[in-house]
């Protein structure tokens, strides 16, 4: 991408204007700091390192970054200290609710004016947050709203974690229909390809699961990382020793069609992606999810269900389940969701191979729950 601002035009040497856009980094935030960086930041601010534990407790346990709530810190200089370490990274632009208030979608503006969204879905006994990991996405899947935006930039760990903290805080404070509750699940199914922003995403996962006061203390089993199938990154994730659930966005069992739906398939084929998913299962013991958006007359044929069933059972039994997702049509797209009867046939064919198959519920589709749609509509 080349950005030429009017001011730069005719001034900057060509080499400079042609280089990748120099996007600044989000302001320093506590949640981005490792132990040594935290100590250094506190020392620089004239504070003792033990303040780090107090601040971590406020942030990860009390879910606050408001100095007024940090009454165990000395009043003198408290606001300055907190403001230096907890700059506001996310500003709500729009909030939409559906399902009697139990689905809440928020469009956030980041420090540099770009927008991302997250969706909180509350069910009896659990609450799942769908987070964004990139501003836009570079994977260009034609049926996905975010895919049409292109990639603007990666999000930082703190930007990812702020989505989590703010949702957990809203639940804890009883601001979501259903009374006070806690956030239990995290899915990287918002905007972006999480494995293309590996370092920030894995650090966010570590903070999500780290026990108090260094993290939100949630279970790795309740985290799902969804990917188009970046094979080396899947293998890397398998070796982290963090048993998150891996979801592979397959959408077609044959290369000809998958290349059309998920263009990165030209780099890693269906078989290579499935082999990596199987290795992930072997390494972690976690059953892998296969995501399959059912698109009318595109990928919903019975023979494709059979081919998928065959390819999955060829690799083993009990290692995988399939999540067909009724396509959420994006504005301007010619594609629609499959007919109910076609969907039912697709599911029953897969089940006949002994593959657990559950159609994803389409929560929030009336508020453009298919992530990316809201940001696409809102524009820059």
Report the interface residues with ligand SAH, using CB under 6 A. 139, 141, 143-144, 189, 193, 226-228, 249, 291, 293, 325, 327-328, 330, 370-371
Q: Per the structure block, which two tokens stand in for 229?
A: 């199938």
Q: Is 130 a catalytic site residue?
A: no
Strand pairing of 151-154 and 245-249?
unpaired
> Nearest approach, Cβ of 147 to ligand SAH (angstroms)?
7
Bridge partners of 134? 154
Q: Which of 37, 83, 117, 343 is catalytic?
A: 117
Q: CA 54: distance to chain centroid?
A: 28
> Nearest approach, Cβ of 379 to ligand SAH (angstroms)?
19
Residue closer to ligand SAH by CB (options 52, 326) is: 326
Q: Per the structure block, which two tokens stand in for 200?
A: 């920030």
Residue closer to ligand SAH by CB (options 42, 350) is: 350
> Nearest approach, Cβ of 249 to ligand SAH (angstroms)?
3
Q: What are phi and psi of 28, to 5 degrees?
A: -55, 135
Q: Where are the alpha helices (DSSP H) in the chain?
A: 14-18, 35-44, 51-56, 78-85, 157-172, 198-209, 231-238, 255-261, 270-284, 302-315, 340-352, 373-378
Burial class from Cβ neighbours inside 10 Å (0-12, 13-18, 19+) for residue 197 reads buried
Coil vs helix vs strand at 157: helix
Residue closer to ligand SAH by CB (options 65, 128) is: 128
d(CA 98, CA 362): 11
Collect all residues with Cβ–Cβ distance below 8 Å to 153 and sequence separation of at least 6. 23, 114, 134, 135, 136
Q: Which of 130, 137, 144, 371 is catalytic?
A: 371
Residue closer to ligand SAH by CB (options 38, 304) is: 304
Burial class from Cβ neighbours inside 10 Å (0-12, 13-18, 19+) for residue 351 reads middle
> Nearest approach, Cβ of 336 to ligand SAH (angstroms)?
10
Residue closer to ligand SAH by CB (options 26, 372) is: 372
Q: Per the structure block, which two tokens stand in for 171?
A: 């639940």
Residue closer to ligand SAH by CB (options 218, 322) is: 322
d(CA 7, CA 85): 32
Q: Per the structure block, which two tokens stand in for 174?
A: 């009883």
d(CA 6, CA 364): 40
> Nearest approach, Cβ of 296 to ligand SAH (angstroms)?
12
> Nearest approach, Cβ of 228 to ligand SAH (angstroms)?
4
d(CA 52, CA 35): 9
Residue closer to ligand SAH by CB (options 31, 145) is: 145
> Nearest approach, Cβ of 305 to ligand SAH (angstroms)?
17
Q: Is 144 a catalytic site residue?
A: no
Q: Which residues have a catalytic role annotated?
A: 117, 371
């Amino acid at each position: 991408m080349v950005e030429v601002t009017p001011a730069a035009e005719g001034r900057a040497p060509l080499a400079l204007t042609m280089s990748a856009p120099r996007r600044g980094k989000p302001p320093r935030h506590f949640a981005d700091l490792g132990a040594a960086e935290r100590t250094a930041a506190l020392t620089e601010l004239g504070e003792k390192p033990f303040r780090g534990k107090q601040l971590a407790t406020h942030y990860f346990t009390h879910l606050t970054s408001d100095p007024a709530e940090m009454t165990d810190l000395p009043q003198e200089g408290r606001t300055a200290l907190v403001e230096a370490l907890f700059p506001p990274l996310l500003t709500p632009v729009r909030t939409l609710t559906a399902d009697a208030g139990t689905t809440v979608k928020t469009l956030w503006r980041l420090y540099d004016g770009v927008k991302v969204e997250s969706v909180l879905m509350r069910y009896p006994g659990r609450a799942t947050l769908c987070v964004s990991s990139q501003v836009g996405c570079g994977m260009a899947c034609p049926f996905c709203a975010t895919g049409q935006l292109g990639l603007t930039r990666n999000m930082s760990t703190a930007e990812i974690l702020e989505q989590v903290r703010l949702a957990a805080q809203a639940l804890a404070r009883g601001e979501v229909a259903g009374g006070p509750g806690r956030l239990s699940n995290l899915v990287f199914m918002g905007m972006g390809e999480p494995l293309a922003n590996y370092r920030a995403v894995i650090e966010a996962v570590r903070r999500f699961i780290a026990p108090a006061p260094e993290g939100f203390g949630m279970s790795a089993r309740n985290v799902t990382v969804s990917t188009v199938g970046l094979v080396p990154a899947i293998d890397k994730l398998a070796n982290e020793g963090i048993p998150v659930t891996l979801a592979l966005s397959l959408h077609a069992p044959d290369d000809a069609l998958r290349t059309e739906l998920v263009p990165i398939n030209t780099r890693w084929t269906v078989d290579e992606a499935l082999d990596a998913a199987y290795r992930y299962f072997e390494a972690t013991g976690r059953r892998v999810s296969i995501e399959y958006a059912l698109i009318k007359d595109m990928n919903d044929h019975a023979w494709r269900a059979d081919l998928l069933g065959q390819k999955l059972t060829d690799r083993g039994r009990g290692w995988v389940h399939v999540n067909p997702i009724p396509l959420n049509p994006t504005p301007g797209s010619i594609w629609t969701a499959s007919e109910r009867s076609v969907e039912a046939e697709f599911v029953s064919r897969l089940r006949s191979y002994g593959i657990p198959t559950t159609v994803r519920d389409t929560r929030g589709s009336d508020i453009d729950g298919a992530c990316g749609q809201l940001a696409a509509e809102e524009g820059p």
